[in-house]
Amino acid sequence: MLSKEDNETITRVGPGTTMGNLMRQYWVPALMSSELPQPDCDPVRVMLLGEQLIAFRDTDGRVGLIQDKCPHRGASLFFGRNGECGIRCVYHGWQFDIHGNCIDMPNEPEDSDFKHKVKAVTYPCVERGGLVWTYMGTRETPPPLPDIEVNQLPDGEYTINPTMLECNWLQAVEGEIDTSHSGFLHFGSITPEDTQEGTYLYYTVKDRAPRYSVVDTDYGVMYGAYRPAKPGWTYWRIAQFMFPFFTQSPEGILGNHVITNAWVPMDDTHTMSYIIIRKVSSESGWPGRHPIQGTAANYPTVQTPTLPNTTDWFGRFRSAVNASNDYGLDRDRQRSGLDYSGIPYLPAQDRAVQESMGPIYDRTQEHLAISDAMVIRVRRRLLAAARGLAEKQVVPPGVDSPAVYRNRSGSTLLPEGADWIEATKELRKAFVDHPEVLQQQP
């Protein structure tokens, strides 16, 4: 349970807030590269860390992220004319480049040098792995980008699933690092008899109360959730939290699973989720993100359908399965036991519970249990890092150490009593494949 003060501190991300200042120490994903498909294309409204920004791709193909309000009289630059290597306000024609320099002021006398005294707020952008990343901090020279493995994959070898969530960013993060919910929300209607004995799903539904080992790392927090497996073996689900809002989920085979989830705060009550995952062929033994066998094979796991993007601040990547239609809840499926929740899509199941907590959940009302060990530890790390920065100017974890993000997550079988951290050390290293692990049955 958090105090009211701690709940405010850890959830609020707007300009000038303690947690918002922490977020601004890092490079953050701002939008998909595909949202700006070609030079001089239409600008895009982007809400990011409580700021209203306009993204545009200039004539040379460079991406700019500029304040929404024109520095002249405050008209929105979303209506601007994008061309000639800058975005031009339609009110009086003032034009700004991706660095915020005013490069044309046509309603002023030709001999005026006033344009050199006006500068718009902009944030540097870098494109990597299908995403536009931006740095919103105060350093003149930004820190390096985090060396997340999915950032290094060639085009065509990864997919990105973006979805907007209508809730606070921490609710989304905590939903991802809460491993015990899988045995209920996602697989609660599945019995061991529905699965193939010896699979990871079999062990999950056979024992729905895993035990936990949670450790601090130089990039955040790692957990190992473990259950009994075949005689003499233990089934481990190992996952990561990486500052400030990245997670790596445990569904795939450790050593082969390459995934990073970014839970980017748009503002205090909206989150943009980017699930970036390496494509894996069916021959690899991991045909999808979730291990489904037996009668569970009819369980929909694909990305939920999205509504067409609109141009408003919260109009990007909205799910068609949402609160307005109860996330597709089907009580007959729920009663029949086909679905534990009655909600047919796994991503929608997560959003249903996270968004149903309200825009910002009041954590003073909760009652945490042993199964919340990872949630508790991540909160402590976030609060300590944010306050360390605010009170003592301590640089948060990972900001200047991109290599600490070279991690993997996933599931594995270990001999009973093995030191799970040491035993999985090599399997958790990014950029190294282990084809031998594919012999394990997911």
Q: What is the pLDDT of residues 257-267, one digit of tens each?
A: 999 999 999 99
Domain-wise residue ranges, the chain: 27-140, 150-439
- Beta sheet of 27-32, edge-to-edge order: 27-32, 131-135, 125-128
If pLDDT is split at 50, 70 and 90, which confidence band does 156 have?
Answer: confident
CA distances in angstroms from 226 to 234, 250, 408, listed in the order given:
7, 12, 17
Tell me how far apart the alpha carbons of residues 409 and 430 are, in angstroms, rounded to a whole number: 9
Render pLDDT for 173-232 as a digit per residue (tens, 0 to 9).
999 999 999 999 999 999 999 888 988 999 999 999 999 999 999 999 999 999 999 999
CA distances in angstroms from 401 to 360, 393, 396, listed in the order given:
31, 17, 10
Render pLDDT for 132-153 as a digit per residue (tens, 0 to 9).
999 999 999 999 999 999 888 8
Domain 27-140 has CATH 2.102.10.10: yes
Return the closest-CA partner of residue 124 out of 99, 104, 95, 154. 99
The answer on pLDDT for 23 being more than 70 is yes
The answer on pLDDT for 68 being more than 80 is yes
- Give me the chain's average pLDDT, please: 92
The answer on pLDDT for 287 being more than 90 is no
pLDDT score of 438 = 75
If pLDDT is split at 50, 70 and 90, which confidence band does 441 have?
Answer: low
Instruction: Give one DSSP letter per residue of 152-191, joined into a string.
Output: GPPTTSEEEEEEEESS-HHHHHHHHS-GGGGGTTTTTT--
pLDDT cut 70: percent of the chain above it: 94
The answer on pLDDT for 301 being more than 80 is no
| Average pLDDT of the segment spanning 335-360 | 93
Render pLDDT for 234-286 as a digit per residue (tens, 0 to 9).
999 999 999 999 999 998 899 999 999 999 999 999 999 999 999 865 434 33
